[in-house]
Amino acid sequence: MIDPPVTLSTLPRPPRQAVRPPVRPGAVRYPVLAVVFVCSACGLVYELELVALASYLIGDSVTQASVVLSVMVFAMGIGSLLAKRLRCRAAVGFGMLEAGLALVGGGSAMALYAAFAWLGPSQYVLVAFSLAIGVLIGAEIPLLMSLIQRAETVRSRGAGAEGSLGAPLGMPGGRRGRQGRQARQGRRRRTGRGWPLTPRARARRRARPPKDPYDAAGTVADLFAADYVGALAGGLAFPFLLLPWLGQLTGALVTGAVNALAGGGLVLWLFRHDLTPRARKLLIGANVFVLALLGTATVLADPFEQAARRAVYGDRILVAVRTDFQEVVVTGRRGSPPDLFLDGRLWAAGRDEYRYHEALVHPAMNGRHARVLILGGGDGLAAREVLRYPDVRSVTVVERDPGVVRLARTDPDLAALNGRAFRDRRVTVAYEDAFRRLRAGGGTGGGARYDVVICDLPDPTTTDGTTLYSEEFYGLAAGVLADGGRLVTHAGPAVARPGTYWTVDASLRAAGFATRPYDMDTGDGDGVGDGTGTGTGPRTPPRAGAASGSGPAKDWGFLLAAYSGRAPGLGLAADAPRPRSLSPAGLATAASRAERTRAHAPRRLPPSTLVHPRY
């Protein structure tokens, strides 16, 4: 029996087997971009945490920011190169990378604070953490790009397989004849595709570049866009959310936990099919361990901070508060003169702070002193010395940190130390930055100007020294001085740092002042002091000696200045209250000591300006 001929039209149509892509077009890209956003925000928070904490603990924020950012950017390049070895296992590599970054970045603030408390200021710890965090951050983008491209490749292949198997050979669209034409016309009506194109539309379509199924350029653009926007979010969240609500230590730990959840969740959910059972268990275990460690550290953050404070300040901590600007710590014993620390620096030593404030205030009061302006001095100690003159009519204290003034008012020991100066009716407090206050006219309102301006400010080498010891600052101060008025400022130790001291002098002279330098010993019994000083004066880091191998500065340098063209005389007023540590002979010795340090400073020192700081 002869079988009938078989033609293509009589073959049984194979069952339609559409191979669908494993994920929808946006199911990989958008979650990955969201994780890039979160990880970038966390990475920038780590950077800002290191910069801020290093500035508080070590000082010189410009140097600390430069060290952290330069080392971190360099390490990011190393991390990008090292990520090449993980591309074959991009999923598990990214998951473990984020777990490590969460642990290192989240614990960096606590580790840096511990190193400062028990080892002293050390930039090696800062550099080590900057390097480690930078390497881990630098490896993120290459691994994420590998994951996106792999997912896009699988999707493109799946779409191609659907088109070839869903429409058998000779059967366009899987249908034939009239039924196929009707189906194609229905699709055209629904989608608007398939109708004849106009010549202009056809030319535009031919001019379009061919679509790259992998779209590497688009992937890079999306990743970097999410990365930059995430950095913006992290940069804004750090000063406005994390610091005020959680503080530095807890804020860093919470950021690390968010980092671990975002990275581990992405891999275990979206790329779980790329993980072997062993890799999945390893990744889950690592993330659970990191989260448990960060959670435990968060619970113990307050006891740790108290222990670290005791290591820095000793066991006699009376008050420790974090204001909007700085950390304020009062130490000592109730009923005795306390010590005041601002951001870890000894601001006023209760046992001999009167040496510093008498040397700062009384030489400037030699002359008319009815109206006095104190820039800084939120502890009230300079105001105490000014109020000892009965003919003083008004004292204006310009302090940027209300928390310091509040503590000086309410703490019994600190209030007793400053003689309860802020309760005096002659005292007015303005909570404002000193530079802004002077720029606005010093509060004179076009009326009477000040006879004396006392600059009780941080050391010139601190962060604020760029502004508060600049030529522009002293030029504004000259505008609020009355005729014959005087200005006095602390300028750093003349013996220990003559370059800084004489740079302040050059800045005053550049602003039009005539200066009278004098350098007070902290109490060596040579007639300048009474010989009972401790040798550890204000504006001194508490562990500076342990860190550098040399003790704190043994002198305080001051500059008395007048805007009249003649340097003011260095002496005490005839009606001055009797100071405990000053005498005319001691002031003469102080002037001679300051002049002797001029030989150790470079010749023709230029002034420090806002655009060219020299401290």
Q: Which residues are catalytic?
A: 456
Alpha-carbon distance of 596 to 599, in angstroms, equals 6
Task: Give 515's strand partners.
Answer: 561
Alpha-carbon distance of 464 to 444, in angstroms, equals 24
The single-letter DSSP state of residue 540 is B
Q: In a 10 Å sphere around its CB, with 0-12 CB exposed, 13-18 middle and 19+ buried, how is residue 401 labelled?
A: middle
∠ CA 346-315-303 to the nearest 5 degrees? 105
Alpha-carbon distance of 421 to 396, in angstroms, equals 12
Alpha-carbon distance of 193 to 205, in angstroms, equals 13
Output the CA torsion 291→292→298→300 (10° steps).
Answer: -160
Alpha helices for 167-300 (secondary structure H): 177-191, 199-207, 216-237, 243-245, 247-270, 277-299
Token output for 112: 């840096």
- C-alpha closest to that of 116 among 538, 536, 546: 546
Contact 484, 449 (CB under 8 A): no
- C-alpha closest to that of 364 among 453, 250, 494: 453
> Residue holding tokens 């688009």?
218
Strand order of the β-sheet with 345-348 is 317-322, 327-331, 339-342, 345-348
